[in-house]
Amino acid sequence: MELHEVGSLLEPAPLPLETGWERLASGALHVAVRTDLHGCTGEMLEWWFRWRCTTREYVWWHPVDHVSSTWQGTLAPDTHIGSEHVVREFFSGLPDQDLVIQFRDPAEFFEPDAYGKARESGAVTGAVVGRLGLTHEPPRLADGRVLGGRLLHIARDTGWGAALRSHFFVGLDLPDQGLSPEEVAAQTPEEFGRALLQHAYDEFTFLSRFLPALFVAEHRDTRPRGTRGERAVRRGGGGRLRAGGQAAGDPAGPPRPRRRRRRPAGGRLPAPRAVTHDSEFARVLQSVGLAPDTIPEVTEPYDDRYVWRNGEGRTLVEVDWTGHGESGWFNTYFFHQPSLEDALDRVVAGLPTVRVLRGQEAVALDQDDDGVTLTLRDTAGATRPLRAGWVVGADGANSRVRRWAGLDWQDEGYFHDWLVVDVRPQPHLRFPHVAEQTCDVARPATMVPGGPGRRRWEFMRLPHETREQLDRTESAWELLASFGLGPADAELERHSVYTFQAGWATRWRAGRVLLAGDAAHLMPPFAGQGLGAGVRDAANLAWKLSAVLRGVAGDELLDGYGTERLPHVQTFVRFSVELGQVICISDPAEAAARDARMTAAWDAGMAPPAPPRPALGPGAHTGPAGGTLSRQGRVRVGGGPATLLDDVLGGPGVLLARDAGALGSVDAAPLADLGIRLAALGGAAPGVLTVDDVEGSYAGWFDQLGVDVVLVRPDGWLYGAGDDAAALADGLLAAVRSPAPVG
């Protein structure tokens, strides 16, 4: 049956293909599944799709295959049409798949007259139809329609329940993208048809077990007693999984639900997290009162080398992670992210300007000229609106805010699965405090500290393994054994397989909505920069948003947030992918060539390439030094102790001159309003703090730049450098008050 023939589903008569799959002329796959929903009605089916199950109920629906469920699109209370179900699910033994199911009006599939008549006559009592995207970011037509496949669930009430006919058209839009029937068929293998058929039969059978009771319970205060659904529940209908054959006319006979490994209730997997941060990140922590040396139980410096070895233990390269970075802190730290988040929570709890709402899920977003309305849903399922001037979508890799705002995603096509294992070695175990990358073709692996008292391992999934095989406690211990670690030596805190990905949002602002963190960019963790990039986003955005909210700046300043940050983060995404390309090699010949190349370079004394140091993209900065990272050094004020300059000034923002005289003509007030103070390394002038550059770091920096004055923004990045302090100050204020367009 082709898509244009689905009108025959409006008739109760059996179709040539009720359960099975067939290859269409275009190469697309048509999968048909007939399921008997005992005790159910078409009305219940439609209600189920507009009830909008959370992950918990989604897992009830298919306790084996379903992983996660969220919703987006138009979430009207009285219809499923317009909503989009964003899910992750397995298909009967195949790897898990991200999907967007966009529910559409039946008029898109059927002749309205014929459909209307079928509803009137009872030939159709429930219809849930839509479009199927095979990722969380499916391609779309200009009007928002998802491209990929189609699905139809058509129900008809009978004496025993609802007869459900589900039809899927997989790969339907691929021919329009120029693919030949053979290419379309290669992308939609028959194995998927079999798995989808089994999955659909299983999930609707599971659903029929609880849907009648759930429907009656959810309507008991609004529906008269004795309705059909209630009678069915009283009879115990809908509770049986039939072991025998289906209704006559099902050519393929009944697929039998198979026993498979259960996933944890609720479908949630333990989330792996960041373990390392750099000097710039440490400076941002310092700015919020969490300087690394004040939280030694959370983060510890790693003043050592990062050693890469091949499978035989030969050194391929040693990356020097020792010493301090220009931000005034160690180049490398290892930390425990949950402990850091707890510490940040405590800081936020002390801020009178911040209200934290926990247990609220944003389920819809609408913006107009004056503000944004978020719809929040609490854990009991109750929704309410929340009005805000601006919304920052820091909602992670599967950001719904990004989708709601219509911001596009550039996928770099990088996917590698790694098992991430966190352990707490027994205190008596003196485990070497090293960071090592094992480039062993038999199993690429990373071993690093995991913050105070912890260790982190990451193991690449090999081509012949499934995620399920790798993501087991026994697998974790087997892999740890090769590092000399067994259950008697350590507590296994968690293990989880994570798909490393690379990409970014092409724009970070749409009207009053902005993106930050993983919502705006994703990178594999080989450079340890994913969370660092999110922290840079926050620092870049905070002072600008604050200026806009206070009316000091025009909102165009926020256009420069994305244009500044995007090129910077792209550099780190690409760098991380390049590291991954060296590490993630499972082909012996390729690995041997890599080893030969790297050992020759190392033996010849060649230093590894330094990590990139990108500047900001176009935005609020000027001149060649503008948009580069500023320095932080130690200073002494009066006869006091040597202190980091940010601690003296209350933050990174500073107009700093070699001599205070250069700042005499600068109007300090508007700069102070942005969080920028006046300071000098010598001389004296009213309103200027003179500091002693005890380590000569600032004088060296001025010499390097060939200037006498630098203007550092509140996020620690240079606005510009030169000799005319007043011109720099005026330039920044103009860039803030009436920002130039940034493309």
Ligand X SMILES: Cc1cc2nc3c(=O)[nH]c(=O)nc-3n(C[C@H](O)[C@H](O)[C@H](O)COP(=O)(O)OP(=O)(O)OC[C@H]3O[C@@H](n4cnc5c(N)ncnc54)[C@H](O)[C@@H]3O)c2cc1C
| CA angle at 217 for the pair 213 and 221, rounded to the nearest 5° | 150
User: Could you give the angle at the alpha carbon of 198 between the alpha carbons of 196 and 202, nearest 5°?
Assistant: 115
Residue-wise burial string across 36-52, b where 16 or more C-beta atoms lie within 10 A, e elsewhere:
bbbbbbbbbbbbbbbbb
Q: Report the residue from 126, 149, 193, 528 that binds ligand X according to the rule CB under 6 A.
A: 528
Sequence-distant (6+) residues with CB within 8 A of 462 are 443, 586
Type of residue at 241? L
DSSP letters, 282-328, are: HHHHHHTT--GGG-TTTEEE--SEEEEEETTS-EEEEEE--SB-TTS
Q: Which is nearer to ligand X, 274 or 480 (CB)?
A: 274
Assess 325 for contact with ligand X (CB under 6 A).
no
Using CB under 6 A as the binding rule, whether residue 292 contacts ligand X is answered as no
- Considering only 204-212, 274-282, 343-351, 632-640, which stretch makes contact with ligand X by CB under 6 A? 274-282
Shortest CA distance to 489 belongs to which of 404, 418, 427, 419?
Answer: 427
- The conformation of residue 433, written as its DSSP 8-state character, comes to -
Helices (H) and strands (E) in the chain, counts: 18, 32
> Kindly report the CA angle at 233 between 196 and 380, in degrees rounded to 5?
75
| Site for ligand X contains 577 (CB under 6 A) | no
- Please give the torsion angle defined by the CA atoms of residues 740, 741, 742 and 743, in that order, rounded to the nearest 10 degrees: -160
Q: How far is the CB of 465 from ligand X (least distance, A)?
A: 18
> According to the binding rule CB under 6 A, does residue 38 interact with ligand X?
no
279 close to 565: Cβ distance less than 8 angstroms: no
First to last CA, the chain: 49
Q: Please, what sign has the CA dihedral across residues 447, 449, 451, 455?
A: positive
Segment contacting ligand X by CB under 6 A, of 271-279, 305-313, 345-353, 648-656: 271-279
Q: Is 499 helix (H, G, I), strand (E, B) or coil?
A: strand
| H or E element in which residue 553 lies | none
Tell me how far apart the alpha carbons of residues 571 and 627 are, in angstroms, rounded to a whole number. Answer: 15
Q: How far is the CB of 273 from ligand X (least distance, A)?
A: 5
CB of 659 to ligand X, least distance (A): 39
If 0-12 CB within 10 Å is exposed, 13-18 middle and 19+ buried, where does residue 253 land?
exposed
Q: From the list 531, 539, 557, 685, which residue makes contact with ligand X (rule: CB under 6 A)?
A: 531
Decide: is 451 part of the binding site for ligand X (CB under 6 A). Answer: no
Residue 517 binding ligand X, by CB under 6 A? yes
Residue 276 engages ligand X in binding (rule: CB under 6 A): yes
Q: How far apart are CA 372 and CA 352, in angstroms?
A: 23
Closest CB to ligand X among residues 36, 518:
518
3-state SS of 242-277?
CCCCCCCCCCCCCCCCCCCCCCCHHHCCCCCCCCEE
Q: Does 362 bind ligand X (CB under 6 A)?
A: yes
Tokens (6 digits) for 466:
């499934």
- Tokens standing for residue 106: 């039946």
Tell me the per-residue interface mask from 475 to 514 with ligand X, x by CB under 6 A, - otherwise.
-----------------------x----------------
Q: Please choose, out of 51-59, 528-536, 603-611, 652-660, the segment that lies near ligand X by the rule CB under 6 A.
A: 528-536
Q: Which helix (H) or strand (E) holds 654?
A: strand 654-657
Query: Minimum Å distance from CB 388 to ligand X?
Result: 13
Report the residue number, 307 or 397, with the smaller CB distance to ligand X.
Answer: 397
Q: Which residue's CB is nearer to ligand X, number 135 or number 426?
A: 135
* Binding flag, residue 400, ligand X (CB under 6 A): yes
Question: Least distance from C-beta 728 to ligand X, angstroms?
Answer: 32
Q: Which is nearer to ligand X, 376 or 727 (CB)?
A: 376
Contacts of 199 (CB under 8 A, 6+ apart): 62, 65, 89, 90, 91, 92
Nearest to 652 by CA among 684, 683, 675: 675
Nearer to ligand X, 26 or 279 (CB): 279
Residue 530 interacts with ligand X (CB under 6 A): yes or no:
yes
Burial class (CB in 10 A: 0-12, 13-18, 19+), 588: exposed
Among the listed residues 198, 529, 576, 622, the single contact to ligand X using CB under 6 A? 529
Q: Does 518 bind ligand X (CB under 6 A)?
A: yes
Smaller CB distance to ligand X: residue 9 or 372?
372
Q: Among 22, 57, 361, 412, which residue interacts with ligand X (rule: CB under 6 A)?
A: 361
Among the listed ranges 114-122, 185-193, 527-535, 541-549, the one in contact with ligand X (CB under 6 A) is: 527-535
Examine residue 285 and tell whether it contacts ligand X (CB under 6 A).
no
Residue 275 interacts with ligand X (CB under 6 A): yes or no = yes
| Contact between 73 and ligand X per CB under 6 A | no
Restricting to residues 416-445, name those near ligand X by CB under 6 A.
420
Binding residues among 712-731 for ligand X as defined by CB under 6 A: none
Using CB under 6 A, which of the segments 501-509, 524-532, 576-584, 724-732 binds ligand X?
524-532
- Residue 333 vs 701, nearer CB to ligand X: 333
Between 465 and 555, CB nearer to ligand X = 465
CA-nearest of 676, 714, 392, 678 to 543 is: 714
Closer Cβ to ligand X, 10 or 519, answer by number:
519
* In the complex, least distance from residue 76 CB atom to ligand X, rounded to whole angstroms: 18
Nearest residue (beta carbon) to ligand X: 517
Q: Which is nearer to ligand X, 276 or 540 (CB)?
A: 276
Q: How far is the CB of 669 from ligand X (least distance, A)?
A: 36
DSSP per-residue codes, 63-75: TTTEEEEEEEE--
| Cα(567)–Cα(576) distance, integer angstroms | 14
Q: Is 534 in the site for ligand X (CB under 6 A)?
A: yes
Interface segment toward ligand X; rule CB under 6 A; list 33-41, 55-63, 529-537, 613-621: 529-537
Instruction: Give residues 646-705 in contact with ligand X (rule: CB under 6 A).
Output: none
Find, among 607, 609, 538, 610, the residue nearest to 569 by Cα.
538
Query: If residue 151 lies in a helix (H) or strand (E), which one and from where to where?
Result: strand 149-157
Listed ranges 13-21, 282-290, 525-533, 699-707: which one lies at the site for ligand X (CB under 6 A): 525-533
**274 belongs to the binding site for ligand X (CB under 6 A):** yes
**Nearest approach, Cβ of residue 102 and ligand X (Å):** 18
Q: Which is nearer to ligand X, 275 or 542 (CB)?
A: 275
Q: Which residue has the tokens 């000229």?
A: 369
Cβ closest to ligand X, residue 75 vs residue 531: 531
Choose, by CB under 6 A, the member of 32, 364, 394, 445 that binds ligand X: 394
- Is residue 42 involved in binding ligand X (CB under 6 A)? no
Q: Does 525 bind ligand X (CB under 6 A)?
A: yes
Q: Which residue has the tokens 């940010």?
A: 646
Q: Does the protein bind ligand X through residue 395 (CB under 6 A)?
A: yes
Q: Which of 647, 528, 603, 587 is nearest to 275 (CA)?
A: 528
358 or 430, CB closer to ligand X? Answer: 358
Choices 156-164, 388-396, 638-646, 679-687 (CB under 6 A): range interacting with ligand X? 388-396
Residues in the chain: 743
Which residues bind to ligand X, rule: CB under 6 A? 272-277, 361-362, 394-397, 400, 420, 498, 517-518, 525, 528-532, 534
